[in-house]
C-alpha cells in the first residue's frame, strides 16, 4: 500500500515538473515568472527587496526548524527502537525561543519601516493624475490640463468566450492607455465612482484602493520607457477581471506631443457640441454607446435582468418625458447601481444613448435628443 | 438511566425525535460533525466549479456573475458551515469527557444552537435559486458592493448570518459555562487538556466578536432598506468604516478557526510521541496572547486602503509580533516529538502535516505583515495561498486528524489504517499541488476573485486545478472510510485505544457509553 502511495507521489511529481517545463518553454510571456517583479520604480524595488529579505529569513528559519523536525521524525521512531523520555519543561529554551524570534522581528522591522516610508513619500510631484474606478473601467484625468478619458478593456467577447482565438495581449489591452512621461514624479490621486476598486501596477509597486468618497494617493517615477500592465484588485462585480490597467511611459518629448494632441481633441470636441445630429446618426452612435456602457446591466435587448436590473424596453422612463430620462442618465439614481454618467460619457454620447433608448426595441417615441440638450440640462442646474 | 438512546429498531419516528430533541452532548456533537461534513462537501463542490472554470483562460463553463456567487458561497460555507461547526462538534463530544462532566452545562440551549444552523444555511443556499442570484460580493462582503450594488437576496444573506451568529454565541456561552463550572474535582485549570483550554479561549473570542459581525450586517440592512448611510459616501457615510468593523470581527475569526485546531494537534502529537506535551503552560499563555493580539491587528487586511502612515506602521508592527507566540507553539510541538517514540498512524500524519504546512502559512503571514510588500501581495493569489495553508492545511487537516483519532472512541470500531494513509497522501500531495503554485501566480500578478485571466497565468492555474481535484477526491475517500468504519470496522474494546493516549476520555469504555461521568471522577 505504501508503495502505491509512493508511486502515486512520484507520478504526480513528474506531472508537475512536466507542466512547469511547459511553462518555461512559453518564454515570451511572463509564464515562467515565479517571483515578484522588481519593477521600474524606487517603490517597486523597495517592495521587492523587503520581500526577498523576508523570504530568505523565512527560508533559513524553515530549513532549521523542519530540518530538526525531520531528523527527529527519523531518529526517534518507535520502529527504530526509540524509547520515550519524559521531560516536558525547560524554562531556558522557552525563554530563548520567545526572545530570539522577537529580536529577529525587531531587526526586520527596520527595513520594513524604511520601505513603507518610501511608499508614502507622495510630496512634491511634478504631475497629478486623478484615477477613478468605474464599473468596469478606469478614468484618467490630468489635473490642470483639461484632459480626461476613459480606459476600457479592448479584448472582444468572442475571444473571452472562445469563439475566436485569444490574442497575444488577451485581457492586457485597453482602448486608451494612461500615458506618463519618463523621469517625472507622477502622483496618482485614486478614487472610486461606484463600488470599491483597486488600482494596481505591479511594475510601479503601486496598489491603492479606489474608494468612493475618498482619495488615496500613490506615486511613481521611472526612467524606463515602456508599457506596463496591471489589474483591478478589489472585487467590484462581474467585470472585476475585465478592467485592466495599462500605462505607457514615454520620453518627455513624445509625452508633450501626446498631451498636446489630447488637448486639441478636447478643444475640437467642445466646438462641435452645437452640431445638430440626424435621427439615424444618433441611432447608430447610440447603439454603440448603449452596448458598451449600458448593456452590461440593462441587456442588449433592453430587457434588463429580472429582479436585479430594470428593463428599458417599454419602461416608464424611456417612454416618459425626456427631462426625467436625462436626469436618470446624467445624475444616476442614488442608492442603486445606476450611476451618474455625467462624467463618464460625453454630451454627444449621452444624447445618442438616450435617443437610442427611446427609439429602439419597439420603444417608439420618435423624438430627438441633441448633445446641446444634454449640455443645457447640465447647465440648467 | 433506565434505557439507552432510541435506535432505528424503535421505528423511525422515535429515532428521528431522538435526534431532533436530543440534549445529549454526544448526540449533538455527532449532529454538528455530520452537518459540517455535509457543508464541507457542498463548499467543496463550489470550489470544484471555481477551479474547473479557472482550468483554462477564457470563460468556458459559467458566467462571471455566477463565478462571483461561487467564490462568495465557497468562502461563507467553508468558514461558517464547515470549519466552525466541525470544531463545535468536537467540543461537544470531547469537552465534557475531557473534564469529567456528565454533559454540557446548558443542554437545551445546546440543542437549539445546533438546530438553527441548518435553517441558516438553507436560507443562504436557497438564494442561489432566487431571482438575482446568491451573494456575489465575496465572503468579506465589502460595502457598497454588498449594499447599494447587491442583489435583493442580500437580505436573506443578512438573516442567515444573524442566525449563524446567534448559534455561535449560544455554543460559546455553553462551552464557557461548562468549562468554568463542571470540571471534576481536582481538575484545576492548569490540568485541563490543551484542547479544552484552546476552546475556552476561542469561546471568549466568539462571544466578543460575533456581536460585531451582527452589527456590521445590521448596518448593511439599515443602509439597504431603511435609508441610512453608514457605508454610503454619498450620504455622509464611509465604505472604509465597513472594513474596520468587518475585520475587527474577521481577524479574531481566523483565530477562532485555528485555536481549536491547535488544541487538537496538542492532544494528538503527545499520544503518538508517547511523551507528554512539552511546555504545557507556555502553550496556554501563547494561546491567550495570540487571542489577545488578534484584537489589535485587524487593519493589516487594509494596508492598501489609504490609512495614515502611523496607522500602517502600528498595524504592521503588531501583526509581526503575532509570529512570536505562534512560533512558541510550533517549537513546543516539535520538542514534544523530540526523544519520543514516534509512530505514524493516520491522525499523527495529519498532525505532522499540520505543523509543517501551518508553519509555512505562518511564514507567508509574516511576509504579508510587511506593509510595503503587502502592497504587492494584497488581493492576489498569494493571499489565497496563505490562507489556504493556514485554514485548510491548518484547520481542516487538524479536523481530519481529530476524526481519525477519536472515531474509535466514538463508535467502538477501528478505521482502516491503509485507507487512512492513502487518503492522507492524496490529500497532502493534492493540497500542495493546488496551493503551492498559487504563491507563484500571486507574485506574478494574478489578482484573486478573477473569473478569467491573462495567458501568462495559464500553466500554473491548470496545475492548481489538477491539485484541487485531487484534494477533492481525497475527501470522498474520507467519507467512505468513516462510513465503512461505522458499518464494518474492527471492534475496539480497550478504553485506552491508543497506546500513548492520556486524559479522562480514554478512561471510559470504548465505545463511549451514552452517558459518561454521571459520577465525577477523581483527578489527582
Ligand atoms: C503568523 C500568523 C499570521 C500572520 C502574521 C498573518 C497575516 C496576514 C495578513 C497580513 C493578511 C492580509 C493579507 C492581505 O489581504 O493583503 C492575512 C490574510 C489572511 N489570513 Fe493570515 N496571518 C497569520 C495567520 C493566519 C491564520 C492562523 C489564519 C486562519 C486560520 C489566517 C487566515 C487569513 C485569512 C482568511 C486571510 C485573508 C482574508 C481575506 O482577505 O479573505 N492567517 N494574514
Ligand atoms: Cu488577519
C-beta of B362 in contact with ligand 1 (< 6 A): yes
Cβ contact, residue pair A85, B131, below 8 Å: no
CA of B247 to the centre of ligand 2 (A): 7
DSSP H or E run through B320? helix B309-337
User: Measured from the CA of B368, which atom of ligand 1 is nearest?
Assistant: 10
CB A204 within 8 A of CB A247: yes
Asked if the Cβ–Cβ distance from B450 to A241 is below 8 Å, we say: yes
Q: Cell digits for A232?
A: 483591478
Instruction: State the Cα angle at A245 between A243 and A250, rounded to 5°.
Output: 150
d(Cα B303, Cα B299) in Å, to the nearest integer? 7
Of B365, B389, B435, best ligand 1 pocket probe by most atoms within 8 Å of the beta carbon: B365
Instruction: Please give the Cα distance from B70 to B81 (Å, whole number).
Output: 15
B359 CB near ligand 1 (under 6 Å): no
DSSP letter, residue B186:
T
DSSP secondary structure string, B277-310? PTTHHHHHHHHHHHHHHTTS-GGGG-TTS---HH
Q: Could you give all domains of chain A from N- to C-terminal order, each with its CATH number?
A: 35-119 (1.10.287), 127-271 (2.60.40.420), 273-378 (1.10.760.10)
- Grid coordinates belonging to B4: 439507552
Distance from CA of A247 to the nearest CA of B (A): 15
Cell of A274: 452645437
Q: Is B494 a catalytic residue?
A: no
Shortest CA gap B217–chain A (Å): 17
d(CA A36, ligand 2 centre) in Å: 22
All 3 cell numbers of residue B210? 460575533
Chain B residues inside the 8 Å CB shell of A74: none
The CB of B325 under 6 Å from ligand 1? The reply is: no
**Cβ–Cβ gap B331/A5 under 8 Å:** no
Catalytic residue, candidates B74, B386, B413, B439:
B74
* Residues contacting A244, CB < 8 A, separation 6+: A153, A171, A172, A173, A174, A229, A230, A231, A232
Find chain B residues with C-beta within 8 A of A72's C-beta.
334, 337-339, 342
Q: How far is CA B121 from CA A110, B127, B128, B163, in A?
A: 47, 10, 12, 9
Beta-bridged to residue A137, according to DSSP, are A134
Q: Distance between CA atoms of B524 and B184, rounded to whole angstroms? A: 10
Residues linked to residue A147 through DSSP beta bridges, in sequence order: A142
Strand A216-220 and strand A186-192: pairing?
antiparallel
Asked if B225 has any chain A CB less than 8 Å from its own CB, the reply is: no
- Domains along the sequence of chain B with CATH: 22-506 (1.20.210.10)
Closest ligand to C-alpha of residue B365 is 1
Taking CB atoms and an 8 Å limit, are B324 and A85 in contact across chains? no
- Nearest protein CA to atom 25 of ligand 1, as residue: B390
- Is residue A189 within a helix (H) or strand (E), and if so which, with residue range? strand A186-192
Answer yes or no: do A160 and B58 touch at CB < 8 A.
yes
Q: What is the whole-number distance in angstroms between the Cα of residue B280 and the centre of ligand 2?
A: 26
pLDDT in tens, A99-147: 999 999 999 999 999 999 999 999 999 999 999 999 999 999 999 888 9
Its sign, for the CA torsion A123, A126, A131, A137, is negative
Calpha distance B467→B469 (Å, rounded): 5
- The percentage of chain A sitting over the pLDDT mark of 90, rounded to a whole number, equals 55
Comparing CB atoms, the residue among B149, B309, B380 nearest residue A337 is: B149
N residues, chain A: 381
In whole angstroms, what is the distance from residue B363 CA to residue B30 CA?
Answer: 35
In tens digits, chain B (524 residues) has pLDDT values of: 445 788 888 889 999 999 999 999 999 999 999 999 999 999 999 999 999 999 999 999 999 999 999 999 999 999 999 999 999 999 999 999 999 999 999 999 999 999 999 999 999 999 999 988 999 999 999 999 999 899 999 999 999 999 999 999 999 999 999 999 999 999 999 999 999 999 999 999 999 999 999 999 999 999 999 989 999 988 889 999 999 999 999 999 999 999 999 999 999 999 999 999 999 999 999 999 999 999 999 999 999 999 999 999 999 999 999 999 999 999 999 999 999 999 999 999 999 999 999 999 999 999 999 999 999 999 999 999 999 999 999 999 999 999 999 999 999 999 999 999 999 999 999 999 999 999 999 999 999 999 999 999 999 999 999 999 999 999 999 999 999 999 999 999 899 999 989 999 999 998 999 999 999 998 87
Does the structure show a pLDDT above 60 at A8? no
Task: Write the ipTM.
Answer: 0.92
The alpha carbon of B102 and the centre of ligand 2 are apart by a number of angstroms equal to 37
pLDDT at A321: 87
Residue B453 falls in the annotated catalytic set: no
Three-state DSSP at B58 gives coil
Q: Closest residue of A to B279, CA-based?
A: A89
Amino acid at each position: 500500500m505504501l508503495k502505491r502511495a509512493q508511486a502515486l507521489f512520484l507520478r504526480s511529481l513528474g506531472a508537475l515538473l512536466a507542466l512547469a517545463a511547459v511553462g518555461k518553454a512559453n518564454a515570451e510571456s511572463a509564464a515562467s515568472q515565479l517571483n515578484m517583479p522588481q519593477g521600474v520604480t524606487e517603490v517597486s524595488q523597495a517592495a521587492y527587496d523587503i520581500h526577498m529579505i523576508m523570504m530568505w529569513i523565512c527560508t533559513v528559519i524553515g530549513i532549521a526548524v523542519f530540518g530538526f523536525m525531520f531528523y527527529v521524525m527519523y531518529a526517534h521512531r518507535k520502529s527504530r527502537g526509540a524509547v520515550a523520555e519524559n521531560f516536558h519543561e525547560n524554562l531556558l529554551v522557552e525563554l530563548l525561543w520567545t526572545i530570539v524570534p522577537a529580536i529577529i522581528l525587531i531587526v526586520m522591522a527596520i527595513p520594513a519601516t524604511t520601505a513603507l516610508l518610501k511608499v508614502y513619500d507622495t510630496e512634491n510631484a511634478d504631475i497629478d493624475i486623478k484615477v477613478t474606478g468605474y464599473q468596469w473601467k478606469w478614468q484618467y484625468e490630468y489635473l490642470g490640463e483639461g484632459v480626461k478619458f476613459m480606459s476600457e478593456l479592448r479584448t472582444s467577447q468572442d475571444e473571452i468566450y472562445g469563439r475566436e482565438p485569444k490574442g497575444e495581449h488577451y485581457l492586457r489591452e485597453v482602448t486608451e492607455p494612461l500615458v506618463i512621461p519618463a523621469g517625472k514624479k507622477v502622483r496618482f490621486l485614486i478614487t472610486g465612482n461606484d463600488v470599491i476598486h483597486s488600482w494596481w501596477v505591479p511594475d510601479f509597486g503601486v496598489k491603492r484602493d479606489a474608494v468612493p468618497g475618498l482619495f488615496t494617493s500613490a506615486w511613481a517615477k521611472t526612467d524606463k520607457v515602456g508599457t506596463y500592465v496591471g489589474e483591478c484588485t478589489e472585487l467590484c462585480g462581474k467585470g472585476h477581471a475585465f478592467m485592466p490597467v495599462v500605462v505607457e511611459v514615454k520620453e518627455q518629448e513624445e509625452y508633450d506631443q501626446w498631451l498636446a494632441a489630447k488637448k486639441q481633441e478636447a478643444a475640437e470636441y467642445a466646438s462641435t457640441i452645437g452640431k445638430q445630429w440626424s435621427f439615424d446618426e444618433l441611432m447608430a452612435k447610440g447603439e454603440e454607446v448603449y452596448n458598451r456602457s449600458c448593456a452590461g446591466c440593462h441587456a442588449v435587448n433592453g430587457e434588463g435582468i429580472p429582479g436585479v436590473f430594470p428593463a428599458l424596453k417599454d419602461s416608464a422612463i424611456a417612454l416618459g418625458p425626456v427631462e426625467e430620462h436625462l436626469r436618470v442618465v446624467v445624475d444616476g439614481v442614488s442608492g442603486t447601481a445606476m450611476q451618474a454618467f455625467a462624467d463618464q460619457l460625453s454630451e454627444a454620447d449621452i444624447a445618442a444613448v438616450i435617443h437610442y433608448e427611446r427609439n429602439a426595441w419597439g420603444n417608439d417615441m420618435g423624438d430627438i435628443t441633441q448633445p446641446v440638450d444634454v449640455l443645457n440640462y447640465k447647465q440648467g442646474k | 438511566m433506565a434505557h439507552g438512546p432510541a435506535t432505528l429498531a424503535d421505528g423511525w419516528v422515535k429515532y428521528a425525535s431522538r435526534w431532533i430533541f436530543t440534549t445529549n452532548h454526544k448526540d449533538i456533537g455527532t449532529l454538528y460533525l455530520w452537518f459540517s461534513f455535509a457543508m464541507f462537501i457542498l463548499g467543496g463542490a463550489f470550489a470544484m466549479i471555481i477551479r474547473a472554470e479557472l482550468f483554462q483562460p477564457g470563460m468556458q463553463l459559467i458566467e462571471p456573475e455566477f463565478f462571483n456567487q461561487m467564490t462568495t458561497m465557497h468562502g461563507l460555507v467553508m468558514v461558517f458551515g464547515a470549519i466552525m461547526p466541525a470544531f463545535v462538534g468536537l467540543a461537544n463530544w470531547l469537552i465534557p469527557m475531557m473534564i469529567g462532566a456528565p454533559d454540557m452545562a446548558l443542554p437545551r440551549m445546546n440543542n437549539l444552537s445546533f438546530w438553527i444552523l441548518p435553517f441558516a444555511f438553507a436560507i443562504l443556499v436557497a438564494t442561489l435559486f432566487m431571482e438575482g442570484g446568491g451573494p456575489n460580493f465575496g465572503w468579506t462582503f465589502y460595502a457598497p458592493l454588498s449594499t447599494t450594488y447587491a442583489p435583493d437576496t442580500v437580505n436573506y444573506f443578512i438573516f442567515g448570518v444573524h442566525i449563524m451568529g446567534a448559534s455561535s454565541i449560544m455554543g460559546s456561552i455553553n462551552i464557557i459555562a461548562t468549562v468554568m463550572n463542571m470540571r471534576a474535582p481536582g481538575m484545576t485549570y492548569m490540568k485541563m487538556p490543551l484542547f479544552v483550554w484552546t476552546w475556552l479561549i476561542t469561546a471568549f473570542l466568539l462571544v466578543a466578536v460575533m456581536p460585531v459581525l451582527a452589527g456590521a450586517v445590521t448596518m448593511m440592512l439599515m443602509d439597504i432598506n431603511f435609508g441610512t448611510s453608514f457605508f454610503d459616501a454619498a450620504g455622509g457615510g464611509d465604505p472604509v468604516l465597513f472594513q474596520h468593523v468587518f475585520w475587527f470581527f474577521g481577524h479574531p475569526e481566523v483565530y477562532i478557526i485555528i485555536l481549536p485546531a491547535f488544541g487538537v494537534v496538542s492532544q494528538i502529537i503527545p499520544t503518538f510521541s508517547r511523551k507528554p506535551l512539552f511546555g504545557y503552560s507556555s502553550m496556554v499563555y501563547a494561546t491567550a496572547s495570540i487571542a489577545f493580539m488578534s484584537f489589535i491587528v485587524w487593519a493589516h487586511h487594509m494596508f492598501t486602503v489609504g490609512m495614515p502612515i502611523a496607522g500602517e506602521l502600528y498595524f504592521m508592527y503588531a501583526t509581526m509580533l503575532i509570529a512570536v507566540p505562534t512560533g512558541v507553539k510550533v517549537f513546543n510541538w516539535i520538542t514534544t516529538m523530540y526523544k519520543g517514540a514516534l509512530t505514524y498512524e493516520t491522525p499523527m500524519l495529519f498532525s505532522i502535516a499540520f505543523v509543517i504546512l501551518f508553519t509555512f502559512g505562518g511564514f507567508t503571514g509574516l511576509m504579508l505583515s510587511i506593509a510595503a510588500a503587502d502592497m504587492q501581495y494584497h488581493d492576489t493569489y498569494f493571499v489565497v495561498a496563505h490562507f489556504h495553508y493556514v485554514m485548510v492545511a491548518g484547520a481542516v487537516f487538524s479536523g481530519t486528524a481529530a476524526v481519525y483519532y477519536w472515531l474509535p472512541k466514538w463508535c467502538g470500531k477501528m478505521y482502516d489504517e491503509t485507507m487512512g494513509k492513502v487518503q492522507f497522501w492524496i490529500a497532502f500531495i493534492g493540497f500542495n499541488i493546488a496551493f503551492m503554485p498559487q504563491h507563484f501566480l500571486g507574485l506574478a500578478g494574478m489578482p484573486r476573485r478573477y473569473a478569467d485571466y491573462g495567458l501568462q497565468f495559464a500553466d500554473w492555474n491548470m496545475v492548481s486545478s489538477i491539485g484541487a481535484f485531487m484534494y477533492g477526491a481525497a475527501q470522498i475517500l474520507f467519507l467512505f472510510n468513516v462510513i465503512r468504519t461505522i458499518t464494518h470496522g474492527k471492534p475496539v474494546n480497550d478504553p485506552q485505544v491508543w497506546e500513548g493516549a492520556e486524559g479522562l476520555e480514554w478512561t471510559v469504555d470504548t465505545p463511549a457509553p451514552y452517558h459518561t461521568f454521571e459520577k465525577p471522577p477523581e483527578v489527582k
